[in-house]
Structure 1
Amino acid sequence: MRSFFCILYICIHRFFSLFFMVKFVYLKKYGTREKQLQYAYSWLQTLSKGIMFFSGAKLSVKGKENIPENQSVLFVGNHKSIFDIPILVSIINVPISFIGKIQLKKTPIVSFWMKETNCIFMDRNDIRQSLKSITEGIELLKKGQSLLIFPEGTRIIGEEIGEFKKGSLKLATKSNVPIIPVYVGNSYRILETQFPWVKARDITVNIGEPIVLDELKVEDKKDLAGYVKDKVEALRN
């Protein structure tokens, strides 16, 4: 039943998003880019909160005070479920962009709002295109836009956290923004363990203190992917 309500909510929200687009077109013509981004992200956040409500999931969140309000950061988290993005968008109030699969670019309406929140589409099977996506992400961070990535590169079902891909952390090293480690626990039990049924679960979200690259030891900088993974692992407890 929860699966039905989640799907129904998404369909209804997509329908009404057509009306939201009218205001967005107005902002596109007469408003600032900042207002456009805020409006687009507010729509995405409303959708995410609705999805989480109808999923029945209960979120336990710690560390929101570690999120800077006036500085771009790179959120780095573990990836367990397709619900991870709605979970994080629903609790992070500053506009964030994320890197999504190229296939999402063909999804009606959703792709429009993803583009308007500066999300980046990546084709992992195309090395050149992937490098271009990383470059776009670096430029976004330099311009003050925060970004969310899952450096495991895929969903890891279960409690284990996979290896973090070194290349993804170039987003931080090349833009020199702080890294915010994020741990999401138990999200895979909402859907992935009994697909296609959505089940109410208790979800843990722990947000760590910013990692400032200039303050790291040389050896930690050399193995930044391993260092950040250890920080995410430490947030389990």
Structure 2
Amino acid sequence: MIPVSPVPALHGLALIEATIRSFVTYLCVGLYVILVGPPGLLFALVTGRVGPLYALARGGVAMGLKLAGIRYRVAGREHLPRARTAVYCANHESNVDAPLLFLVLHRGLRLLFKREFARVPILGRACTIAGFIPVERGNPRQSQAAVDQAAQALARGESFLVFPEGTRSWTGQMLPFKKGPFIMAIKAQVPVVPVAIHGGRAAMARGSAIIRPVLVDVRVGEPVETTGLTHADRDRLVAAVRERIAALRSET
């Protein structure tokens, strides 16, 4: 069985400190979004340029991680295809995963995100303008449309971060992978980059609003090429990427 990141128990002063730190983090990030979000959105709408919006987002993420006391280290940076479009596939342990990977993997990374998040004021609109694609879980027709839309964006040179499990794991063990992210990679003939997160669950376990100040490891594996693959190869691609992510998670 693949080792999972344990969730540290908090008691007494440690619990009080983590609770206060979490509250301050939520408050400051919320104020940051309210203050810089509208000007950033307006600039993007008027000029059609989303680069500054991405810069603001990275600044907010970096601030939030620092306030929360989350440290991180990245292994395998040499495998990041800086000059190539790619689909970055990662395991999903917590709400810390997406912002952390958004910060460290690629400066212009798009995401597939839950459609209900699009209703969040400012942030939802920012996601849409930035080229993120909403996915409605439980709606196969809409999910297929999202995959097609993402494949078209990949063909235009836009890289994506996806969590093929589709949701966060309660236990830390990987859930079954959905095929959509791999189908879109095959359609666009772009590589899939396996990414493993270890420590995300320790930072913020599913069902908890408390952020723990821990070290999170991000491990990047060698890209899995899709050149020449067809729709019939999707299951083989899923298995290959899952195996690589599992191997990365097992590294010590």
Query: Is TM > 0.5 for Structure 1 vs Structure 2?
Result: yes
1:20 corresponds to 2:40: yes
Pair 1:169 & 2:169 matched: no
Taking the TM superposition and a 5 Å limit, the aligned residue runs for 1:110-125 are 110-125=123-138
The partner residue of 2:75 within 62, 65, 73 is 62
**Structure 1 counterpart of 2:137, which letter?**
R
Aligned AA (1:27): T
SS state at 2:50 partner:
helix
In structure 1, runs of 5+ residues without a counterpart are 29-35
Q: Distance in 1 between matches of 2:94 and 2:159?
A: 21
Structure 1 residue 71: deviation in Å?
1.7
Residue 127 of structure 1 is matched in structure 2 by 140
| 1:100-119 equivalence runs, <5 A | 100-119=113-132
Deviation at 1:194, TM superposition (A): 7.2
Q: Choose from 205, 209, 212 the match for 1:199.
A: 212
Instruction: Give the counterpart of 1:4 among 7, 23, 33.
Output: 23
**Are residues 220 and 11 of structure 1, via their aligned partners in 2, closer, same or farther at CA, if it must alter by over 3 Å?**
same
Contact between 1:69 and 1:94, CA under 8 Å: does it hold in 2?
no
- Cα distance between partner residues in 2 of 1:4 and 1:177: 41
For 1:136, give the aligned amino acid.
Q
CA distance in 2, matches of 1:221, 1:130: 16
Q: Which residue number corresponds to residue 16 of structure 2?
A: none
Query: Which amino acid is 1:54 matched to?
Result: L
Distance between the aligned counterparts of 1:20 and 1:37, measured in 2? 9
Aligned partner of 2:102 in structure 1 is: 89
Q: CA RMSD in A?
A: 2.0
1:42 aligns with 2:62: no
- Whether the 8 Å contact between 2:182 and 2:234 is mirrored in structure 1 is no
TM-score with structure 2 length normalisation? 0.84
Q: TM-score, normalised by structure 1?
A: 0.89
Aligned residues: 228
State the Cα distance separating 1:221 from its structure 2 match: 6.0
